[in-house]
Amino acid sequence: MSLSTVHAALLSKASTALTGITFEHENAPVVKPANAKWARVFFLPNQPSVETLGSTGEDMADGIFQIDINYPLTTGATAADTDFETVRGNFKAGSTLTSSGQVVTIMNCGRSQGRLVDQWYRVSITVGWYALIAR
């Protein structure tokens, strides 16, 4: 179990939550559509803290998983609202994700206001998470 399995669990759930939406993540190639919505995801862990002592102890890792969904300009906010609710339904507070035995607990899921970024209408969705990682 490791931080990389935490990342894998979050990416796997993002794939489900973003079904039908092209998305890119760290250092992975993607062809962004010219006139259709697309997303970019970011895994942003904090510095871990010691939860239990000893060589077989656990570290508490937490952070955020940010999903930026970009929409063509002048297409309205309905798609953004709908997509947020879909993502929120996949990252429910208190739910857990698992990858290779690593459990990740979702703490919260919220969204920003929409804004113009590089000629796209962007909404950022932030998922708070934590995991106990064995040493």
Going by pLDDT thresholds of 50, 70 and 90, the confidence category of residue 1 is: low
Q: Which domain holds residue 93?
A: 3-134
32-56 pLDDT tens trace:
898 999 999 999 999 998 888 888 8
- What CATH number did the domain enclosing 125 receive? 3.30.2000.20
pTM over 0.85: yes
Give the count of domains, the chain: 1
Closest CA to 10 of 86, 95, 81, 85: 95
* Apex 96 CA angle, 126 and 19, nearest 5: 60
